[in-house]
Amino acid sequence: MAMAPRAYGLVRRPAAPLDPVREGGETGGPFAARGSRAMSDPNTGPRPARRTPPFAGFEWMIAWRYLRARRAEGGVSVMTWISLIGVTLAVFALIATLAVRAGFRAEFVDTILGSNAHVTVFHAVEVDANGNTSRTIADYQDMSARVAEVPGVTRAAPLVKGQVMATLRSANSGVEVFGIAPEDLETIPRIADPGTAQGDIARFDEGIAIGSGVARELGAQVGDRIRLINPNGVRTVTGISPRISAYEVTYIFSAGRYDIDRTRVYLPIGEAQTFFAKEGVADEIEVFVETPDEVERYLPAIQAAAGERALVWTWRDSAGSFLRALTIEDNVMFVILSILVLIASMNIISGLIMLVKNKGRDIGILRTMGLTEGAVLRVFFICGASIGTAGTLLGVLLGCLFAIYIDPIFSAVNYLSGGGVWDPSIRGIYALPAKLQPVDVVKAVSLSLLLSWVVTIFPARRAARMNPVEALRYE
C-alpha cells in the first residue's frame, strides 16, 4: 500500500495581520497597510504609519473613475448628466433673471433722471383777498439764480406747465405742455439726444417739440403744424372761451419711456406763458444735481435758497412706490430662484446614492486595504462637488452670454412669436434690458457652490460609514 508523501514545506503560515488604522490618522494610500515589517527600521525600531494629506491624488483618481460609469452602470451616468444639466440651467436662470432685473431698474431710473427734474421747487398755495388760490412763482428768475448757486446743483430752470388737447387733421391726443427756455431744453439728456430724435433742436424757439408717442398718435412729422386747445383760455363777458394756437413741429424726441413720449410736448417759455395766460410767472423750478442717488443731502440748501414759501419734491418721491415694488420683486425672485438651485442640487444626492449603492463592493475592498472613513468620504464628496462645480461654471457661462447678447436673442424670440412680445405701454420702456453686475454673478456662484457642496456631504458620509464586512458578506 503506497504511503502518501508528506508535504514538507507546503504548510501555509497564517498571514500577518494588517496594521490597524490609527484613530484620527491616515494611511499612506490604499496599499500602505501591508504589515508592520515594511514600517520598521533595524536601528530605530518600528516607524509610525505615514499620513497622506487630505484630497490626495489617489482620491481624485478613484472619484474620476466612479464618475465615468461603465456601460453596465448606465443609470449612474444618466443621473450624473441629469444633475449636471439641472445645476447648469438653474444657475443660468438665476444669473439671467438678476441681469434682467438690474437692467430694467437701471433703465427705468435712467429715463427718470434723464428726462425729469431731480428736485422740483414750487410754492405753497396762496389765497388772495378775493379767495382765489395761486401757486405761481413771480420772482422765478431770481429764485432760479439762487438755487443754481447751491453747491452740487448743475442746473435750475423755470417751467410753465399745463394740460391741453393737441390736434392734427382728424387726430386728437391729450398732452402735457412744458414751457421751458431753449437753452435749458438742450441740457436735458434724454430729450436733447440727436441719436433718437428727429428735426433740429436749435429751431425749438420757432415752434414746438413733441414726443415720439405724440407724433405717432397724431401722425405728425417735422414741419407739420399742430393745434393746441386750452379749455381754460380766455375770459370773456359770456364766460371762458378756449384758446387755440397752431405751432410748427420742429423737433421730435424719444425719451425712452412710453408714458413720457406719449404725453409730453415742449413750448418756449414765453409762448407758454402767453398761451396759459401766465405772463411774468412760472409754475415751478426744475433742478438737476450732480449725484441724484444722494438727492436728499441737497434739499436743505435748496430749500434755504428758494425761500420760506418754497416746497421741494424729489424724483424719489414721485417714483418711490415703483422703486420699492421693484426691490420687493427682486428679493422674491432671488428667493424663488434660489429654491430652484436647491432642487437642482438635490439631483446630486440621488446620483450619489445610486453610485454608493453600486460601488458597495468596491468600498468594502478599499476599506479592507486600509482606506479610512475620511478618505472614502472625500472620494464621494469629490464626485458630487465636481458635478456641482462644473454645472455652476456652465451656468455662469450661459447666463453671461445671455446678458451680453440679449438684444439679438430678444429679437429672434420676438420674430418667432410673430411680434408683440414686449408691450411698452405696459412695461414703460421699449426693450428688454440686461445689466450684468459682478456682484450678481458672485451671489449666484456662491449660492450654487454652497448648496451643491453641502448636499454632497450626506451621501458621502453614508458611503464612509459603510461596514466593509457587510459590504463583502455575499461576495
pLDDT in tens, 331-349: 888 888 888 888 888 888 8
Q: Angle at CA 201, nearest 5°, toward 200 and 206?
A: 90
* Section 217-239 average pLDDT: 82
Would you place residue 425 in the very low, low, confident or very high pLDDT band (cuts 50, 70, 90)? low
CA–centroid distance for 312 within its chain? 32
Query: 3-state DSSP helix/strand/coil percent for the chain, to nearest 5?
Result: 50, 20, 30
User: Of residues 463 and 191, which shows the higher confidence score?
Assistant: 191
Neighbours of 23 (CB within 10 A): 6
Strand partners, 121: 285, 312
Would you place residue 31 in the very low, low, confident or very high pLDDT band (cuts 50, 70, 90)? very low
Instruction: Choose the weakest-confidence range: 16-20, 170-174, 209-213, 290-294.
Output: 16-20
Residue 211: CA atoms inside 13 Å, Cβ hemisphere, count?
23
Neighbours of 208 (CB within 10 A): 27
Cα–Cα distances (Å) from 467 to 192, 366, 472, in that order, read 77, 11, 9
As to burial, measured by CB atoms within 10 angstroms (0-12 exposed, 13-18 middle, 19+ buried), residue 176 is: middle
The three three-digit cell numbers of residue 281, written as one number:
410767472
Are the C-beta atoms of residues 365 and 469 closer than 8 Å to each other? no
Are the C-beta atoms of residues 19 and 28 closer than 8 Å to each other? no
Q: Tell me the pTM.
A: 0.71
Are the C-beta atoms of residues 238 and 187 closer than 8 Å to each other? no
Q: Is it the case that residue 394 has pLDDT exceeding 90?
A: yes
